[in-house]
Structure 1
Amino acid sequence: MYQIRLATKDDIDDIITLVKELASYEKMSDKVTFSNEQFSTSIFKNNYAKILVCEYKNDIIGYAIYFYTFSSFLGRGGIYLEDLYVKSEFRNQGIGKKFLATLAQICIDENLGRLEWECLTWNEPSLAFYYKLGAKNRDEFFHLRVDGKELENLANLLKIK
């Protein structure tokens, strides 16, 4: 039987292996730049995010990384799902749905206003799955990011007099 539970430090190596599998699937392996220690510190010491894992016969076969957000319009918090990944041989068995239902229940239990995430535009199987569960695409928004040198350049604007 599959069990979804909160990750512990003992799970970190298995989670990192799965993160790298996800990066490979998304054709982004070159974007994985963290050390195992950095990843573990970010989760278990700095509490930047939480991780749910799916365990089957004492093996971690999937994970969901999430963190809290805030909506000024709702005046309430929410959950942002950073990653949802299930090993290919365990897909189409309801595990992804169980992860999302677990996160939805956390939202309800903690009086949070929404659960949100992103999906790559070419990932049609996942998009179909999400739409079937009632997810909606927010076409009126662009997802923007500043990182690397651009992040440094932006911070350096504070030094300009």
Structure 2
Amino acid sequence: MSEFKIIDLRQEDLDILQEMIIEFAKYEDMLDFLQCTKEKLKHSLLKNKFARAFLLKENEKTIGYMIYFYTFSSFWGSGGIYLEDIYIREDFRKKGYGKAVFKFLGEICKKENLKRLDWVCLNDNILGINFYESLNAKHLKQWRNYRLSGENLEKLCDL
């Protein structure tokens, strides 16, 4: 029987994490948007701890990763988790590891009294959509996602 573990990211794991982030970007056909480097990962995840990163392991083999960070809802008056990435390599999908990751996150939410778990999914990721709906996750149709980055973000300083 396969042994599945979720382990905290360590400095020596940065190469494999970056490799899987590239795989994930290819899978989502978003490689052109990728700007992440090993140095940025080290700075953001290990030094400043902007988010928490974990490797997913089957029998000591790295098969995926997840990254999350904490949020706060003024309407709910409570904290939550935003799942930035969940990626499981293709050969290891449909083995229950995605459910194990969500169980892990659910346990964190329960332990820390967090009231919600949020994430986004690309519209064409049918496998992901079906999986999330099997967990009874709700598609929040009333919301739009917005982003400012690069030059447009810098322009805020000139307002």
Q: TM-score, normalised by structure 2?
A: 0.95
Structure 1 residue ranges (4+ consecutive) displaced by more than 6 angstroms after TM superposition: none
Deviation readout 1:66-98 (Å, 9 max, x if unpaired): 000001112111000000000000000011111
CA offset at residue 152 of structure 1?
1.1
Contact 2:18 2:37 in 1 (8 A): no
CA offset at residue 102 of structure 1?
0.4
Match of 1:143, SS state, is coil
* Coordinate RMSD, CA, aligned: 1.0
Amino acid at match of 2:50: Y
Q: Which residue in the other structure is 1:23 paired with? A: 25
Q: Which residue in the other structure is 1:126 paired with? A: 128
CA offset at residue 56 of structure 1?
2.0
Q: Which residue in the other structure is 1:59 paired with? A: 61
Deviation readout 1:109-132 (Å, 9 max, x if unpaired): 000010010000111111011001
- Name which of 145, 151, 156 aligns with 1:143: 145
Contact 2:25 2:34 in 1 (8 A): yes
Deviation readout 1:25-73 (Å, 9 max, x if unpaired): 1111111112211211110001110012111232211111000000111
Equivalences, count: 157
Amino acid at match of 1:132: S
Match of 2:148, SS state, is coil
Q: Which residue in the other structure is 2:87 paired with? A: 85
Contact 2:4 2:57 in 1 (8 A): yes
Q: TM-score, normalised by structure 1?
A: 0.94
Moved more, 105-114 or 57-66: 57-66
Q: Which residue in the other structure is 1:107 paired with? A: 109
